Amino acid sequence: MAANMSAETLLDVPGVDENYFPSEQEEFMNPRQQMYFRKKLLDWKKEILANTRDTIDTMRSDDLVLPDVTDRATYESEKSLELRARDRQRKLVSKIDAALARLDDGTYGYCEITGEPIGLRRLDARPIATLSIEAQEMHERREKVFRDD
């Protein structure tokens, strides 16, 4: 139902308002919770895309000519950091899109490994989470053991 709704439209849906917060007393991933997380993901994506547009506009308008080599190096270094941050956010947008797809197919909120609910507090803190806390900790321990130092 909410698959093709925009973030603005979600506020018009009965039961979804700015003061709503999912509760452990509700059925896990009921339609209201799904709409809450969809809105959260769409708002996050919208913010990232707006920041990206701002960065692009700034870089296009920067016709800065810096005669001092040190100033130029500092400027180039800052731009490089900005581009790396935008690249991380680009990857984050694809994770947000994947989370939205999981909402559409009914697998959002459930651990990819165990199939158990991830938990509302974890999803609220990290809406793109795909693993429960326990599965994530196990994954990180394995990663640490097999990491090449």
Q: Give 148 or 6, the one with higher predicted confidence.
A: 148
Would you tell me how many other CB atoms lie within 10 Å of the CB of residue 5? 17
d(CA 100, CA 148): 34
Length in residues, the chain = 149
Q: What is the mean pLDDT of the chain?
A: 84
% residues pLDDT > 70 (the chain): 83
Query: pLDDT, tens digit, for every residue of 80-132?
Result: 888 888 888 889 999 999 999 999 999 999 999 999 999 999 999 999 999 99
Confidence (pLDDT) at 77: 82
- Domains, in order of start, for the chain: 7-110 (1.20.120.910)
Say whether pLDDT at 23 is over 80. yes
CA torsion through residues 43, 46, 48, 54, sign: negative
d(CA 56, CA 50): 10
Confidence (pLDDT) at 12: 46
pTM: 0.74
